[in-house]
Amino acid sequence: MTSGQRLRQIANVLNATTLLGLLLARCARTAVRPGPRGLLIATGYRWPLPFAQAFTVGNVVLFRAQAPEALSNPVLLAHEERHSSQYAWCLGLPFLPLYFLAAGWSLLRTGNPGSANVFERLAGLEAGGYLGPHRREKDNVRNSKGPNNKVRKRGGQQNGRKAGRKGRRPDGIEA
């Protein structure tokens, strides 16, 4: 673990968000195991909210998938890890209202909670699944309301992309 990762781990213990994540993981009856870089991996999360294949509370990353699948997706884990760092930077719990404000702003602007959400952008939109099927919705909104009303990024390649990522849920209201 690097010193930065250690610092994040300590910060999220002290600001109580890792404890909150563990409580949530326990209430949702997930299996928790130590993960890389000071993270804790909870798998088999089944509650309906949030609409995300994974989300993070403190240093706890909760996956809907079971362990083999969750642990074989380093790109998504890296995305969630950035959210863990965001908790530390926000001093813990303030991350949550800030995140929901950013998600609401994004929803108003783009029709989905991720594309214009500063936390998701910093965590990586593609890694978080935001550049999949939602891309078309986002562009349609931009085409109708945005400052540049040019028709962009519409057409057949979106269908191919959508088909290619079928079954992958955008990681919506994720923390």
Q: For Zn ion, which is the closer residue by CB, 122 or 151?
A: 122
Shortest distance, CB of residue 135 to Zn ion, whole angstroms?
Answer: 16
**CA pseudo-torsion sign 46, 63, 69, 102:** positive
Nearest distance from C-beta of residue 55 to Zn ion, angstroms: 7
Nearest distance from residue 151's CB to Zn ion, in Å? 29
C-alpha to C-alpha distance for 81 and 50, rounded to whole angstroms: 17
Q: Which is nearer to Zn ion, 62 or 123 (CB)?
A: 123
The residue (of 82 and 146) whose beta carbon lies closer to Zn ion is 82
Strand 31-34: give its sheet, edge to edge.
Answer: 31-34, 40-43, 60-63, 54-57
DSSP state string for 123-157:
H-TTTTTTTSTHHHHHHHHHHHHSS-----S-SHH
C-alpha span between 103 and 54 (Å, rounded)? 16
CB of 90 to Zn ion, least distance (A): 14
CB-wise, 47 or 145, nearer to Zn ion? Answer: 47
Closest residue to Zn ion using C-beta atoms: 128
Nearer to Zn ion, 124 or 146 (CB): 124
* Smallest distance, Zn ion to C-beta of residue 149, A: 29
Q: Rule CB under 5 A: which residues touch Zn ion?
A: 120, 123, 128, 174
Decide if 60 contacts 66 (C-beta within 8 A). Answer: no
- What is the Rg, in whole angstroms, of the alpha carbon atoms belonging to the chain? 17
